[in-house]
């Protein structure tokens, strides 16, 4: 494997053989050159997109800005994405996500242990986070919700919260959205923090013809469910809406810095330099 040391972070590419997924899995890891045990750790799904997200450039900017965001980033490359991503144990109406449970088990039973035992990256749940976009964002949300002992915060950018048990031509209603139902049926888990983002140009679909695109509706409705469970708006759950934001890597790479800063509770004023036009939306206003 090639290891490269560039400025403040070491970039390492490693292959991990997963018994849960029954395949090899490529990891791109970014570790501070001055790594200290317990530094914050961020797990990223769809790790094959790390170059498109300009992840290394973002980390360099964070350091050069003088922020105390020395963090470990572990980017997991996707394999059989439409099978392994989604909600664990709950396939969608078209049978996607049938191996999402194995994917979640890989993370909590194999990856975290491997990082500690083989790579010496000892993280603590209070400083461990999971971040991703689109279908990976839904997957990250599910992992975070179902394994709260392992993580403290989540960021889902343009998450696929449309995931539904009944298709649109099968008598679909909003009650068929699986992630929303999962929150309604679940219990409040203390100490969790949620950062959710959508762009005003994520898509053009509008199922209920209310003038709001579905990706925003679905994300806002999920925020509402979290608030009903007792999570405080603006404190433990935040929704960012990016004006003109699309369902693409250029949009997400700009929002990524805000997500990381908020999750790790750093100096939020410094995020203005990353040129993201976003609005914090408060439900009911």
Residues 196-244: tens digit of each pLDDT: 999 999 999 999 999 999 999 999 999 999 999 999 998 999 999 999 9
Q: Per-residue pLDDT for 133 more than 60?
A: yes
Average pLDDT over residues 179-196: 95
Q: Per-residue pLDDT for 268 more than 50?
A: no
Whether 158 is covered by a domain: the verdict is: yes
- Residue 273 confidence class, pLDDT cut points 50, 70, 90: very low
Whether 247 is covered by a domain: the verdict is: yes
- Residue 178 confidence class, pLDDT cut points 50, 70, 90: very high
CATH number at residue 160: 3.40.50.1820
- What is the four-CA torsion angle of 79, 161, 206, 181, rounded to 10 degrees? 140
- Residue 271 confidence class, pLDDT cut points 50, 70, 90: very low
Distance in angstroms (rounded) separating the CA atoms of residues 284 and 221: 12
Average pLDDT over residues 191-196: 95
Three-state SS for 226?
helix
Q: Which H/E stretch holds residue 174?
A: none
Number of domains in the chain: 1
Average pLDDT over residues 174-203: 95
Pairwise pLDDT comparison (118 vs 282), residue with the higher score: 118
The confidence score (pLDDT) of residue 270 equals: 33
**Per-residue tokens: 200:** 């005003």
The confidence score (pLDDT) of residue 278 equals: 42
Model confidence pLDDT, tens digit, residues 64-116: 655 555 789 999 999 999 999 999 999 999 999 999 999 999 999 999 999 99
Average pLDDT over residues 17-32: 95
CB 157 within 8 A of CB 139: no
Q: Per-residue pLDDT for 276 more than 60?
A: no
Whether 114 is covered by a domain: the verdict is: yes
Which residue from 271, 104, 112, 263 is spatially nearest to 192, judged by alpha carbons? 263
Q: How far is CA 18 from CA 22, 76, 96, 97, 102, in A?
A: 6, 12, 21, 18, 10
Whether 285 is covered by a domain: the verdict is: no
Percent of the chain topping pLDDT 70 = 87
Residue 61 is part of which domain span?
A: 3-280
The confidence score (pLDDT) of residue 78 equals: 96
Task: Identify the residue whose tokens are 């989540």.
Answer: 154
Percent of the chain topping pLDDT 90 = 71
Average pLDDT over residues 238-259: 92
Three-state SS for 237?
strand
Quote the mean pLDDT of the chain.
87
HSE at residue 198, side-chain half, CA atoms within 13 A, is 24
């Amino acid at each position: 494997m090639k290891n490269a040391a560039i400025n403040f972070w070491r970039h390492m590419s490693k292959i991990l053989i997963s018994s849960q997924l029954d395949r090899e899995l490529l990891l791109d890891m970014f570790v501070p050159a001055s790594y200290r045990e317990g530094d914050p750790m961020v797990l990223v799904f769809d790790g094959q997109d790390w170059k498109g997200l300009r992840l290394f450039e973002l980390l360099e900017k964070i350091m050069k800005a003088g922020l105390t965001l020395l963090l470990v980033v572990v980017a997991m490359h996707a394999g059989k994405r439409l099978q392994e991503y989604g909600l664990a144990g709950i396939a969608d109406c078209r049978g996607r996500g049938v191996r999402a449970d194995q994917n979640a088990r890989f993370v909590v039973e194999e990856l975290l242990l491997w990082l500690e035992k083989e790579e010496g990256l000892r993280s603590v749940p209070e400083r461990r986070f999971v971040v991703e976009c689109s279908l990976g964002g839904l997957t990250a949300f599910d992992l975070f919700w179902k394994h709260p002992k392992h993580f403290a915060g989540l960021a889902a950018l343009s998450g696929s919260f449309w995931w539904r048990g009944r298709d649109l031509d099968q008598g679909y209603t909003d009650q068929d959205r699986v992630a929303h139902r999962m929150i309604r049926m679940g219990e409040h888990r203390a100490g969790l923090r949620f950062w959710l983002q959508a762009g005003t140009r994520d898509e053009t679909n509008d199922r209920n013809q209310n003038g709001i695109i579905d990706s925003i509706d679905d994300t806002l409705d999920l925020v509402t469910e979290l608030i009903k469970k007792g999570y405080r708006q603006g404190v433990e759950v935040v929704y960012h809406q990016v004006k003109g934001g699309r369902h693409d890597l250029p949009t997400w790479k700009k929002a990524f810095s805000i997500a990381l800063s908020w999750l790790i509770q750093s100096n939020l004023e410094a995020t203005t330099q990353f040129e993201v036009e976003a609005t914090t939306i408060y439900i009911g206003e």
